């Protein structure tokens, strides 16, 4: 379910989110009666949609690195009187650092580049819901290639750095959880 946004066309996701958050949608109605505000075409609404859209890009690396933590370490923690919550923060999370950082970086980069969902839910309001990617599109539409180029160059630089950081992190902690001795039979 959480992986659906990977294969779903962004405009389709955006459309359903719009319906859901809209004044006639169940979520939209609840939010309006609670906070007195509407979500579509606001920054908050865009935030909700972005989380839904980019969640799988964080969840997959998180889950993979959590699952890779050796089981005996969790059992060792339990037999040392550790609660599941403490085990998670003291053992699982530190040993999955590379995966967690990868997930955060990937979802950040992915959010930066989203387009379809933004247009559907955010509505491209300058200063409110216009994102960098949409801004580049607008510059091109207005034949302002200089601005489009400058913004694109910034994004290229950001993307490149993000990848570099991710790879560097993955190399530095290669399977940190496997440095313990061989698992027994």
Residues in touch with another protein (CB under 8 A): 70, 72-73, 75-83, 86, 90-91, 94-95, 176-185
Nearer to another protein, 36 or 174 (CB): 174
What is the C-alpha to C-alpha distance for residues 88 and 167, in angstroms, rounded to an integer? 25
Instruction: At 135, list the tokens.
Output: 């801004």
Least distance (Å) between residue 81 CB and another protein = 5
Of residues 140 and 176, the one with the C-beta less far from another protein: 176
The secondary element (H helix, E strand) that includes residue 84 is helix 84-87
Identify which of residues 91 and 105 has a Cβ nearer to another protein in the complex: 91
Give the number of other Cβ atoms within 10 Å of residue 102's Cβ. 23
| Minimum CB–partner distance for residue 61 and another protein (Å) | 18
DSSP string, 121-157: II---TTTT--HHHHHHHHHHTT-HHHHHHHHHHHHH
Q: SS3 of 160, please?
A: helix
Using the minimum distance from each CB to another protein, give the nearer residue, 49 or 92. Answer: 92
Give min distance, CB of 89 to another protein, in A.
Answer: 11
Smallest distance, another protein to C-beta of residue 96, A? 10
């Amino acid at each position: 379910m959480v992986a659906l946004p990977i294969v779903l066309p962004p405009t389709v996701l955006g459309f359903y989110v719009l319906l859901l958050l809209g004044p006639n949608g169940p979520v939209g109605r609840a939010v309006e009666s609670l906070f007195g505000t509407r979500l579509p075409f606001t920054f908050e609404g865009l935030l909700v949609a972005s989380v839904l859209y980019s969640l799988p890009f964080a969840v997959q690396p998180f889950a993979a690195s959590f699952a890779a933590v050796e089981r005996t370490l969790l059992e060792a923690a339990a037999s040392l009187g550790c609660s599941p919550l403490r085990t998670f923060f003291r053992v699982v999370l530190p040993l999955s650092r590379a995966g967690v950082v990868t997930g955060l970086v990937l979802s950040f980069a992915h959010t930066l580049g989203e387009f379809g969902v933004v247009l559907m839910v955010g509505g491209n309001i300058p200063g409110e819901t216009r994102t960098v990617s949409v801004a580049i599109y607008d510059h091109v539409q207005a034949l302002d290639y200089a601005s489009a180029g400058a913004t694109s160059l910034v994004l290229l630089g950001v993307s490149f750095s993000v990848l570099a950081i991710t790879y560097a992190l993955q190399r530095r902690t290669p399977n940190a959880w496997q440095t313990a001795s061989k698992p027994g039979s």
